[in-house]
Amino acid sequence: MQVVVYDGTFEGLLTAVFEVYEYKFIDASITKENEVQASAFGDVHFVNTDATKAERVMKGLEQKISRRSLNDVYRTFLSELPGIENTLLRYMKYIFGAKALREHDYSHPDVLMIRQTSNKVYREKHRMEAFVRFQLTADQLYYAIVQPDYNVLPLVGAHFKERYADQRWLIYDARRKYGIYYDLEKLSPVNIAFNEGLAGGTAVQAVYDESEALYQLLWQQYFSSVNIAARKNMRLHLQRMPARYWKYLVEKLS
């Protein structure tokens, strides 16, 4: 087996797909460079991410599938599921090898997998847009911590940029150790080295603005006042707001 190693980026994955064709690898397995130790059986080919090669693969897909299916491909990549690169590789081979339209052929397991995974990532994106709670730091930066199941920060930036266009903010993914920062003009990815006093980024009380504690208390009281005990439906509540999000919700801290 030919193990094709890439840098973990979407552009890197597209470059890897290009080189599978370029070097005529018959039995190829694509893997991230930080996972190569566990999967390095057989010959190893290291990919240098190339924007030109990646663009050629993307243009090839654009000629074969709709914009919706292109979005499905990207969202599936962001799922970070084990082995998803090879699902995407097989999917692209299936699409490129057809004269007729195949993007809706759900009898094919990889086509179905791409659609189902994309839907899951899309739902997680909407949950992040609904459940992010910003906290104000002393230097007037609105800061939020999330731990989504999938890598959805690249999908939610535009939503928060539009909604909070007049505020500096940072959303940090504690699971993946990176964030997106809005400086009133543009979005930028950031990596942050937290000191131990801030619990690795999961606690920011030490840098709160003085009014933040009052804001949180008022919000908790409001939430309690509108929560009618007689109409409580915990099953529905968990469906709409899964428990894994609670630790970063102000209204759930009381």
**Per-residue pLDDT averaged across 226-238, rounded?**
51
Q: Of the residues 124, 146, 170, which one is the last residue of a structural domain?
A: 124
Rounded Cα gap, residues 177 and 143, in angstroms: 14
Residue 21, amino acid: Y
Structural domain total, the chain: 2
| Boundary (domain end) residue, out of 68, 89, 124 | 124
One domain, residues 73 and 32: yes
Same domain, 167 and 237: yes
Measured at the alpha carbon of residue 186, what is the angle toward residues 194 and 173, in degrees to the nearest 5? 35
- Count of Cβ atoms closer than 10 Å to residue 65 Cβ: 20
Residues 240 and 141 in one domain: yes
Q: How many CB atoms lie within 10 A of CB 3?
A: 18
Q: Are residues 82 and 139 in the same domain?
A: no
Specify whether 101 is located in the same domain as 157: no
Q: Is the pLDDT of residue 30 over 90?
A: yes
Q: What is the pLDDT of residue 206?
A: 46
92, 193: one domain: no
The predicted structure's pLDDT at residue 192: 72
Which alpha helices (DSSP H) does 132-211 contain, by range? 153-163
Domain holding 36, by residue range, is 2-124
The confidence score (pLDDT) of residue 247 equals 57
| Residue 181 sits in the same domain as residue 90 | no
More confident residue, 57 or 223: 57
Please provide the average confidence, as pLDDT, over all residues in the chain: 82
> Alpha-carbon distance 215 to 232, whole Å?
25
Using CA atoms, how far apart are residues 114 and 87, in angstroms rounded to an integer?
8
What tokens appear for 95 in the block?
Answer: 């699409």
> Are 111 and 194 part of one and the same domain?
no
Q: Per residue in 95-127, pLDDT tens?
A: 999 888 889 999 999 999 999 999 999 999 998
pTM of the predicted protein model: 0.78
Give the mean pLDDT of 205-224.
47
CA distance 98 to 34: 33
Q: Span 44-61, mean pLDDT?
A: 97
Q: 35 pLDDT band (50/70/90 cuts)?
A: confident
Q: Which of 124, 140, 170 is the last residue of a domain?
A: 124
Average pLDDT over residues 170-199: 81
146 and 103, same structural domain?
Answer: no
Same domain? 70 vs 142? no
Are residues 11 and 119 located together in one domain of the fold? yes
